[in-house]
């Protein structure tokens, strides 16, 4: 388990950087809600792209994995959307 984690450590660090940049950019765009939503969408798109690319490079990419990343991204967007809009 630890060997596998260390083998993929660079990928995990990149993911941490993606989310950190997204969080910081969202915080700094604080008064502008539309810009915050755009940054969040770009962060989610980066996460989905990163995940698919990671699995493609490691020869583990399947349709199930692609759908999983897309659904997790959609779930994250839905949560943020309902927080920002108050659930409409």
- Concatenating the DSSP letter of every residue in the chain gives -HHHHHHTHHHHHHHHHHHHHHHHHHHHTTT-HHHHHHHHHHHHHHHHHHHHHHHHHTT---HHHHHHHHHHHHHHHHHHHHHHHTT-
- For the chain, the domain total comes to 1
Task: Please write the tens of the pLDDT for every residue from 61-73.
Answer: 999 999 999 999 9
Task: Please write the tens of the pLDDT for every residue from 44-56.
Answer: 999 999 999 999 9
Task: Please write the tens of the pLDDT for every residue from 7-19.
Answer: 778 888 999 999 9
Separation CA 48–CA 63 (nearest Å): 13
Residue 34's domain spans which residues?
A: 2-85
Cα–Cα distances in angstroms (integers) from residue 80 to residues 5, 24, 43, 74, in the given order: 29, 16, 12, 10
């Amino acid at each position: 388990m630890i060997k596998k984690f260390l083998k993929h450590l660079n990928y995990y660090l990149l993911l941490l950087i993606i989310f950190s940049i997204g969080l910081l950019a969202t915080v700094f765009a604080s008064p502008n809600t539309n810009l915050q939503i755009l940054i969040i969408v770009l962060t989610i798109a980066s996460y989905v792209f990163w995940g698919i690319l990671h699995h493609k490079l490691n020869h583990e990419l399947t349709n199930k994995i692609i759908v999983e990343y897309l659904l997790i991204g959609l779930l994250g967007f839905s949560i943020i959307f309902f927080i920002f809009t108050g659930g409409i």
